[in-house]
Amino acid sequence: MKLPELLAPAGDFEKLQTAFRYGADACYMGIKSMSMRVKIDDGGGDMLEEAFILKNKLGKKIYLTMNIHAHENKLNFLDKELKRLAELHEIGLDPDGILVSDVGIFAQLKEKAPWLPLHISTQANTLNSSAIMFWASQGVERVVLGREVSLREINKIKEILKKNKSDVEIEAFVHGAMCMAYSGRCLLSNFMAYRDANEGMCAHSCRWKYKTSSCKKDDGSNCSALLEEEERPGEFIPIEEDENGTSIMSAKDMCMVEHLDDVLASGIESLKIEGRHKTLYYLAIVCRAYRQAMDLAAKGKKPTKEILEDIESINTRGFFTGFWYGKPGAEGQNYEDRSSYNDNYCFAGVIRQVDGETITMELKNRLNKGDQLQIIAPNKTIQMTLEEFKNAKNGEIIEKASAGQGFSITFESAEKLEKGFIVRKVLAS
C-alpha cells in the first residue's frame, strides 16, 4: 500500500526541523503577512531560504499558507511576498504548494506566479465533489477539505473524482484543535478582543475562562444569563437559552490515530496535523505517533498501547473523532476544567549539544536531582534517571534547576543521543 503524506505544522524553523526528525513527510508554514496564525509564523527572509534548502536536502516538502480572507490593503503585502518567492525561484528554491482561500489572492497568484502549485485551504470550506472539480478546472493541485466532511462523504467524493478521471489531491485533518465556528469562520475574537480571526489574529476567545450569573428584569422575572470573562470582571455578556439549552464553546480535540485503517482506505493523499501554536514536545510526540501508527495501519495492524499512551500524554481538551464518523453531539464538547488534562509528564527540555557522553540540554521546566526523564528519540523512548548535572554556563554542580531564557544543564549519558531530541520529565507513574 502506498502511504499518504503525513503533514505537520511548523510555526518556526526549529519546529520544522523537529517535525521532519520525528516522521513528517511535509510541513505547512505561514507567510507572515498573508497567513492565519500570523503571530507565530515567520516565513520570510533567510529563514524561508534555509527551510527550502533543508526540505530539499531531506527529500521532504513544504507548503506555504496565504490563506487569509484579504482586505484590499493586504494585496500590497502580497506583491512583496511574491517578489521574495520569485527571488528564491531564480535560485531553484520553491515551496511545494501555496494554500489559499481568497479568490482574489488565488487570481493574483495565477497571474503573477504561475510556477507555484496552488492548494485550496480548509478556510475555503470545500465540502463536496462539485466544488473540488471546479477548483481542479482552475488548475488547483490539491484541496484541503473542511473538518465537517465525514468519512462516508470522503469515500463518495473519491469515487466521483475517480469516475471523472480527476487527479486532484485531497487533504484532510486527522489530529488537533476543533473550532467552535464553521471551519474557523468566527466573529467572537473580533467582537470581544478586536482581533479578526479571519485575518489571522484569533484571540481564542472561545477558550477563555467564564462564569455565569442570572439577572432580573424590572418586573422581577428572570432574563437571560450573563457571561463574565475571568480577566474582564464587571463586563457582562448576555447569553440566551432555548429548549435545547446553551452550548459551551470549547470543543474537544480531534484524534484519529486509532482509526488510520479507515483513513488510509479512503485514498486521501495527505493526513494533516493541526497546531502551529503548539510546542516542540507536542510536535515530536504527535508526529512520531502518527508515523508509527500509519506504518502499522499499512500492514493491517492497530496502533500499539505505547503509541496510544504517548498521544494521551499530551495536554489536550480531551479527544474525539471530529466529524469523521458523523456529526458529533455532547461527546465532542469539553465540559470539564483544567483538572481533566493528563499530567503524567511535562516537557523537560531539548538536547542542544552532544559531545561524546556529555549532553547539553536547554530546560523547559524545573528539574531536580533524581528526576526520571524520558528521551524521545524518533524510533524509541529512552529511560534515564537524572543524577549529577551541572550548570552548562559555569560547570558548577547543582541539584536543582529552573527553566530560564536559554538556561542549560550538562549531564552524562551512555545512550546514543542526538542534537534536537526532545526530553520529558515523568511526573506520575
In this structure, are 269 and 207 located in the same domain? no
* Residue pointed to by grid coordinates 467582537: 191
Q: Mean of the pLDDT values across residues 217-244? A: 65
Task: Give per-residue burial for 146-172: e unless 16+ CB within 10 Å, then b.
Answer: bbebbbebbeebbeebeeeeeebbbbb
In this structure, what CATH number is given to the domain that contains residue 273? 3.20.20.380
In this structure, are 321 and 283 located in the same domain? yes
Residue 244 lies in a domain: no
Q: How many domains does the structure of the chain reveal?
A: 3
In this structure, are 397 and 303 located in the same domain? no
Q: With 80 as the cut, is the pLDDT of residue 336 above it?
A: no
Tens digit of each residue's pLDDT (9 = 90 or more) over 117-171: 999 999 899 999 999 999 999 999 999 999 989 999 999 999 999 999 999 999 9
Distance (Å, rounded) from C-alpha 286 to C-alpha 273?
8
Number of Cβ within a 10 Å radius of residue 223: 12
pTM, entire model: 0.85
Contacts of 237 (CB under 8 A, 6+ apart): 192, 226, 227, 228, 229
In this structure, are 95 and 228 located in the same domain? no
Q: Mean of the pLDDT values across residues 54-64? A: 98
Q: Mean of the pLDDT values across residues 337-366? A: 86
In this structure, are 174 and 205 located in the same domain? no
Supply the Cα-derived Rg of the chain in whole angstroms: 23
pLDDT higher at 306 or 204 = 306
The mean predicted confidence, pLDDT, of the chain is: 87
- Residue 9: give the domain boundaries: 5-178+251-337
- Residue 230's pLDDT is 77
Residue 246 lies in a domain: no
In this structure, are 256 and 314 located in the same domain? yes
* Residue pointed to by grid coordinates 467552535: 180
Q: Mean of the pLDDT values across residues 42-46? A: 55
In this structure, what CATH number is given to the domain that contains residue 378? 2.40.30.10
Q: With 50 as the cut, is the pLDDT of residue 232 above it?
A: yes
Residue 57: Cβ-neighbour burial (10 angstroms; 0-12, 13-18, 19+) = exposed
In this structure, are 169 and 22 located in the same domain? yes
Domain stop point among 311, 337, 363: 337
In this structure, are 221 and 266 located in the same domain? no
Domain stop point among 296, 318, 337: 337
In this structure, are 36 and 166 located in the same domain? yes
